[in-house]
Amino acid sequence: MTIIEKIIAKHCGKATVTPGEIVDITIDARLARDFGGANVVKNIERNGLEVDDQSKTFFTFDCNPTGSDQKYAANQQYCREFARNQGIHIYDINSGIGTHLAIDQGLVIPGDTLVSTDSHANILGAIGCFGQGMGDRDIAAAWSAGSVWFKVPESVRLHLIGEPEEGITAKDIVLNLLRKFGANTLLGYAVEITGHFVDELSLDDRITISSMGTEMGAIAVFFTPSDEILDYCKERSGKEVAAIKADPHAIYAMSYEINLAYFDIAVARPGKPHDVVRVKDVEGVKIDSVFIGSCTNGRISDMRRVARILENRKVAPGVVLKIVPATDEVWNACLQEGLIKIFKDAGAFVGNAGCAGCAAGQIGQNGPGEVTVSTGNRNFAGKQGKGDVYLASPETAAASAIAGHITTIEDIPKEPTLFEIGVVGHDVVINDVDQQERPTVLEGKVWIIDQDNIDTDMIFHNQHLAITDMDEMGKYTFGNLVGWEDYASKSTVGDIVITGKNFGAGSSRQQAVDCFKALGNIAIIAQSFGAIYQRNAINAGFPILEYDDLSTLELKDRDLIRIDLTTGLVTNLNNGKELCIHAFSKVQMDIYQRGDLLFTP
């Protein structure tokens, strides 16, 4: 078996599992963050559920560790009160990013399972642990039952050969992989990365690479733990730790051999993490700001490399440099090692440990027209503000902050590029469950959005994340999708959305599903869905279906179609043409008929 198959088999009580099999897996650590936590609690309370095991259940307040937004603050306090009553541990606003804490605090070890409302929970693949981002219902189910259903994915092996050129970092490696595979080639697969060079990667470097598996559409990116990482996990957890690795004859859906010698120092251009080019291709682009941190590059080794570049130098005039360590432990190490002084002397702003720029409530957001170099993992339009965001390594980011334009360490100029003159309360609302009999044949008019990789920030922008009342969600649907910003005003009850590959890529926000329910839309048909989005829709009882090719239907906008959820038969009622797409699975139909994952008739 592959790594993920071994972990799933161990946690569902079976000797073996195979791809496509749907099983219930026990979850070793169950996390809820500040923006999703309130909905998790409401789901628990509304359905009269109990917490299965408080010792395995945690809140991690990492999205807004300053409590600067009233709705975030209200949600955090709501969760605190629930935690006090239930005896649940909180990693509060002074702790840092939950997925990092899970490793550093020994909440999980290699071979374990973890779920979180963080779409980058697959970071845990860095230690050979299966971490998965999930929506509010999923997490509530895990908290109450201690397990969740999961479809065993196929695995892909990426074998790295050769040696990278000097200056190539872990961030450059994962950006180059994104350039090769794009946002959906690896969609839904569990990826294992192997090779002699990989064996020497540090924990921090593995975290950087695993954290961007989400941007490649992967379920997770796994590394076989080295002896160094096994020792680290043993020390942090106080448990005996064994390596988890694939069998010699494990079966992979695809296997690639990739030569590191051809990798470049790279950046991702604004809007798409997979739109990756050489730094040389964009060198000289004037920048306004730099952000260094996030779950991808906020570890102590990242901070040390940045400090070496900034020492005895100054940030270019007019450029804002924001640095946010991933955890409080990293922050304190920066203080003890004198790195904070180096950052401050260079002109940087240092923030509390946390997610920072990826979450609308904290440090790292930019304004309209602002050009930012960021070490984060996403640069979707609107994700980190209203400006343009280039993704890069900490080294490239620090060098660019000094230069005032995008550049590498080797090309930092003697003089920086300058700007030219002239130029409340517990008001969380949970949706009512539809308990009426659900039809298995649907009819509605279609909206055809012929785009791939429509991410959750395009569907439901992160500035509205604190909204938990479904009645408020509908008006924001596709509010950040260019050309479809007026969708909510022109959509009618009973409409069906038809779109391309990887619909719902990105964050784990439930609102990106519920906003369609709020509008009265009845289904979404896509060539493929982001893994977390797919689960969120199924668990909300909202019909989603996948197709291979719809061309024979000769569909046009506002055509009336009929869908049989049981057989997958789709009929264009305007011309009589029909074909079969993928029908509901047994699990999907069961949840759909119940109306919600957490509702028992």
Contact 139, 117 (CB under 8 A): yes
Query: Domain of 540: which CATH number?
Result: 3.20.19.10
Rounded CA gap, 225 and 149, in Å?
A: 26
Q: Are 175 and 292 in the same domain?
A: no
Helix or strand (DSSP H, E) at 349: strand 349-350
Q: Which of 393, 411, 429 is the last residue of a domain?
A: 411
pLDDT score, position 433:
46
> Is 436 domain-assigned?
no
Query: pLDDT value at position 463?
Result: 81
Determine, yes or no, domain membership for 372.
yes
Per-residue pLDDT tens over the stretch 176-228: 999 999 999 999 999 999 999 999 999 999 999 999 999 999 999 999 999 99
Q: Point out the residues of the chain with pLDDT beneath 50.
A: 424-434
| 141 in the same domain as 11 | yes
Same domain, 274 and 146: no
CA distance linking residue 540 with residue 568, whole number of Å: 20
Tell me if 599 is assigned to some domain: no
Question: Total domain count for the chain?
Answer: 3
Is the same domain home to 84 and 201? yes
Evaluate the CA torsion angle 294, 296, 300, 306 in order and state its sign: negative
Q: Looking at the domain assignment, is residue 475 inside a domain?
A: yes
Backbone angles phi and psi of 466, in degrees to 5: -75, -5
In a domain, 7, yes or no: yes
Instruction: Please check whether residues 70 and 209 belong to one and the same domain.
Output: yes
Domain-embedded: residue 419: no
Domain assignment of residue 435, yes or no: no
**Quick one: 465 and 525 in the same domain?**
yes
Single out the residue of 536, 517, 539, 538 nearest to residue 582, CA to CA.
Answer: 538
Q: What is the pLDDT of residue 359?
A: 62
Three-state SS at 288: coil
Angle in degrees, 0-180, between the axes of helices 531-539 and 511-519, rounded to the nearest 10: 50
3-class secondary-structure state, position 477: coil
For the sheet with 57-60, list strands across it.
89-91, 57-60, 29-33, 113-116, 130-133
Q: Which of 202, 234, 262 is the last residue of a domain?
A: 262
How many Cα atoms sit within 13 Å of 440 on the Cβ side?
16
* Nearest alpha carbon to residue 598 among 210, 50, 176, 18: 50
15 and 152 share one domain? yes
What is the Cβ-side half-sphere exposure of residue 209, based on CA atoms within 13 angstroms? 26
Final residue of a domain: which of 243, 262, 281?
Answer: 262
Same domain, 133 and 154: yes
At 67 the pLDDT is 66
Dist. CA 453–CA 243, nearest whole Å: 35
- In this structure, what CATH number is given to the domain that contains residue 282? 3.30.499.10
* pLDDT tens-digit readout, 481-510: 999 999 999 999 999 999 999 999 999 999
Q: Are residues 454 and 405 in the same domain?
A: no
* Domain co-membership, 288 together with 244: no
- The residue segments making up the domain with residue 178 are 3-262
Q: Where are the alpha helices (DSSP H) in 379-482?
A: 394-403, 456-459, 470-473
200 lies in some domain: yes
Provide the pLDDT for residue 425: 39
Q: Which 3 state secondary structure label does DSSP give 388?
A: strand
Residue 12 shares a structural domain with residue 140: yes
The answer on 355 and 385 residing in a single domain is yes
Q: What is the pTM of this model?
A: 0.88
